[in-house]
C-alpha cells in the first residue's frame, strides 16, 4: 500500500462526478483495514464537510465488514464464549470499543461477587448474592422507561447507564455467573428472555476460551429453577413457565424450558435491534443488523 496513492484517492472523494466517487470508494474499501489509519487521519484534518462525510462512510463500511467476519468466525467456531459474541454486537455500533476494558469491567463484578460467595452455599443462596452484587451494588436494572432503545442491547452502554433489556441483563448475569463456575444459562422464552440454573452437582469442570471462563449450556443436570434478570433476579419455577405459555396460548416445547446456545442468544439480540431500528426509522443500521442476522443464520437453531 502506497500512502501517497491512498491520499491521492482520498482527495478524489470531492469530485463532482458520482461515478468517480463510487470508483474511488470501492478502491478504498478493497484495501480494508490497512487503509483505516490514513482515512482516520484525513477525516480529522479534512476541511470539506462533504468529503469528511464520505470518508466517515468508508470507515464505517470497513469496520462493518470486519465485524461481519469476526461474527462469522465466532459462530463457525461454535460461539463458545457469550462474552465474545456480545462484544461483537456492541462493536457493530461502537467500532472503537475496547474489548479488554469491557472484560475488566465484567471481571470487577465477578471479583466483588466472589468475595461474597461461599461455594458450599446452596444454589438459591448463590443467586441471592449474585442479585445483590449485580442489582444492588452495581445498580443494574430493567429500562422500562425506554424499553426499545438500541443502547439496551449493547454491553458497553448497559454497563455505563446501568439500564438494559431482559436479554442484555441476562447475558451479563450469565457471564458473571459462569466465570464463577455457577451454571446459569439463557432460555429463549417467547416475548421474554430468562435464565436457568442447572444442577451444579452434575456440571463438569469449567473450561476456557480465549482466556475467558465459560460453561457449556448442554452439560450438567436438570434445570433447578429459573431467574428473571429484568426483575432483579427474581426466582421462579417450571410451573410459572407453564402458566406464562398458557397465557400466550403457545404450546409447551423443550426450547422454552431448556438453555439455548450462545449463537441463538446473539441472534435474539440482533432481532431486538431490528425492532429498535425499525421504530427509529434508521434504515442504514437496520440493513446492517439484517446482514449480521444472515451471517448467524446457518449456525442458529431458532427460526
Q: What is the pLDDT of residue 208?
A: 44
Q: Is the pLDDT of residue 207 over 50?
A: no
Mean pLDDT for the stretch of residues 195-218: 71
- Of 206, 211, 187, 165, the closest CA to residue 261 belongs to 187
Cell of 247: 397465557
Quickly state the pLDDT bin for 206 (edges 50, 70, 90). Answer: very low
Residues 6+ apart with CB under 8 A from 112: 133, 137, 138
Tell me the C-alpha distance between 9 and 24, whole Å: 6
Residues 35 and 141 in one domain: no
Residues 66 and 123 in one domain: no
Residues 218 and 87 in one domain: yes
Quickly state the pLDDT bin for 201 (edges 50, 70, 90). Answer: confident
Quickly state the pLDDT bin for 51 (edges 50, 70, 90). Answer: confident
Average pLDDT, the chain: 92
Residues 14 and 105 in one domain: no
Distances (CA, A) of 282 to 72, 97, 268, 277, 291: 24, 21, 19, 5, 15
Q: Is the pLDDT of residue 52 over 70?
A: yes
Distances (CA, A) of 80 to 20, 198, 207, 258, 263: 44, 18, 10, 17, 8
Residues 8 and 128 in one domain: no
Quickly state the pLDDT bin for 119 (edges 50, 70, 90). Answer: confident
Tell me the C-alpha distance between 198 and 292, whole Å: 31
Mean pLDDT for the stretch of residues 155-162: 98
Q: Which domain holds residue 70?
A: 3-76
Residues 62 and 208 in one domain: no
Please give the model's pTM, rounded to 2 decimal places.
0.92
Judge contact between 97 and 163, C-beta under 8 A: no
Question: What is the tens place of the pLDDT at every residue in 12-27?
Answer: 888 888 898 899 899 9
Q: What is the pLDDT of residue 210?
A: 45
Q: Is the pLDDT of residue 267 over 70?
A: yes
Tell me the C-alpha distance between 88 and 265, whole Å: 13
Q: Which residue did the predictor score with more confidence, 208 or 6?
A: 6
Q: Is the pLDDT of residue 203 over 70?
A: no
Tell me the C-alpha distance between 58 and 61, whole Å: 5
CATH number, domain containing residue 7:
1.25.10
Mean pLDDT for the stretch of residues 4-17: 85
Residues 51 and 197 in one domain: no
Residues 108 and 185 in one domain: yes
Q: What is the pLDDT of residue 209?
A: 43
Domain count, the chain: 2
Residues 64 and 135 in one domain: no
Q: What is the pLDDT of residue 118?
A: 87
Residue after which a domain boundary falls, among 76, 108, 132: 76
Question: What is the tens place of the pLDDT at every residue in 87-103?
Answer: 999 999 999 999 999 99
Residues 182 and 251 in one domain: yes
How big is the chain, counted in residues? 303
Q: Where are the alpha helices (DSSP H) in the chain?
A: 3-11, 18-31, 36-45, 49-76, 82-93, 99-116, 123-131, 155-161, 166-179, 238-248, 262-280, 283-296
Residues 101 and 160 in one domain: yes
Residues 274 and 218 in one domain: yes
Q: Which residue did the predictor score with more confidence, 240 or 210?
A: 240
Residue after which a domain boundary falls, among 19, 50, 76: 76
Q: Is the pLDDT of residue 205 over 60?
A: no
Judge contact between 120 and 103, C-beta under 8 A: no
Residue after which a domain boundary falls, among 15, 48, 76: 76
Question: What is the tens place of the pLDDT at every residue in 277-295?
Answer: 999 999 999 999 999 999 9
Question: What is the tens place of the pLDDT at every residue in 219-257?
Answer: 778 999 999 999 999 999 999 999 999 999 999 999 999
Amino acid at each position: 500500500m502506497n500512502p501517497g496513492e491512498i491520499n491521492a484517492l482520498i482527495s478524489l472523494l470531492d469530485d463532482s462526478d458520482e461515478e468517480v466517487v463510487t470508483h474511488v470508494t470501492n478502491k478504498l474499501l478493497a484495501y480494508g483495514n490497512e487503509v483505516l489509519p490514513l482515512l482516520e487521519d484525513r477525516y480529522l484534518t479534512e476541511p470539506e464537510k462533504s468529503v469528511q462525510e464520505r470518508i466517515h462512510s468508508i470507515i464505517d463500511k470497513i469496520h462493518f465488514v470486519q465485524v461481519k467476519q469476526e461474527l462469522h468466525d465466532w459462530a463457525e467456531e461454535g460461539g463458545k464464549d457469550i462474552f465474545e459474541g456480545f462484544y461483537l454486537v456492541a462493536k457493530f455500533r461502537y467500532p472503537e470499543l475496547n474489548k479488554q476494558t469491557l472484560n475488566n469491567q465484567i471481571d470487577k463484578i465477578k471479583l466483588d461477587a466472589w468475595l461474597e460467595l461461599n461455594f458450599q452455599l446452596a444454589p438459591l443462596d448463590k443467586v441471592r448474592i449474585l442479585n445483590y452484587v449485580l442489582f444492588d451494588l452495581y445498580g443494574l436494572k430493567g429500562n422500562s422507561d425506554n424499553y426499545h432503545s438500541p443502547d439496551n442491547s449493547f454491553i458497553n452502554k448497559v454497563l455505563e447507564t446501568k439500564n438494559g433489556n431482559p436479554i442484555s441483563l441476562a447475558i451479563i448475569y450469565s457471564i458473571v455467573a459462569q466465570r464463577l463456575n455457577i451454571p446459569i444459562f439463557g432460555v429463549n422464552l417467547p416475548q421474554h428472555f430468562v435464565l436457568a440454573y442447572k444442577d451444579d452437582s452434575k456440571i463438569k469442570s469449567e473450561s476456557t476460551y480465549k482466556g475467558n471462563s465459560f460453561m457449556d449450556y448442554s452439560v450438567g443436570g436438570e434445570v433447578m429453577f429459573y431467574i428473571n434478570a429484568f426483575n432483579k433476579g427474581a426466582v421462579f419455577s417450571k410451573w410459572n413457565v407453564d402458566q406464562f405459555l398458557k397465557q400466550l396460548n403457545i404450546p409447551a416445547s423443550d426450547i422454552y424450558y431448556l438453555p439455548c446456545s450462545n449463537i441463538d442468544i446473539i441472534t435474539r439480540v440482533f432481532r431486538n435491534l431490528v425492532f429498535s431500528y425499525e421504530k427509529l426509522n434508521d434504515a442504514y443500521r437496520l440493513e446492517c443488523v439484517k446482514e449480521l442476522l444472515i451471517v448467524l443464520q446457518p449456525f442458529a437453531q431458532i427460526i
